[in-house]
Amino acid sequence: MLNYMTVREAGEKWGIGGRMVTLYCAAGRIKGAEKIGNMWLLPKDAEKPEDGRVKREVQSGK
């Protein structure tokens, strides 16, 4: 368990809420995340997935 962190720890590390981390885990967006009972465990070196809700500004060719 030393190489894993909880949803709360990941949220604090990435600056997001625990619910968002849980949603990323359930969607399979965090590589190596495992559900043990009702708790998600994430590798300590896991990277924050890109937030798909954020739109990027597109440059127009005009």
- Cα end-to-end distance, the chain, whole Å: 55
Q: Tell me, yes or no, whether 59 lies in a domain.
A: no
Q: Tell me, yes or no, whether 48 lies in a domain.
A: no
Q: Tell me, yes or no, whether 57 lies in a domain.
A: no
Q: Is the pLDDT of residue 46 over 70?
A: yes
Q: Tell me, yes or no, whether 49 lies in a domain.
A: no
Compute the distance between CA of residue 34 and CA of residue 12 in angstroms, rounded to an integer.
19
Q: Is the pLDDT of residue 62 over 70?
A: no
Instruction: Compute the C-alpha angle 7/38/20, nearest 5°.
Output: 35
Q: Tell me, yes or no, whether 60 lies in a domain.
A: no
| 61: confidence class by pLDDT, cuts 50, 70, 90 | low
Cα Rg, the chain, nearest whole Å: 14
| 10: confidence class by pLDDT, cuts 50, 70, 90 | very high
Which domain range does residue 18 map to?
A: 4-43
pLDDT in tens, 16-37: 999 999 999 999 999 999 999 9
Q: Tell me, yes or no, whether 52 lies in a domain.
A: no
Domains in the chain, number: 1
Q: Tell me, yes or no, whether 29 lies in a domain.
A: yes
| Torsion sign (Cα): 37, 46, 1, 7 | negative
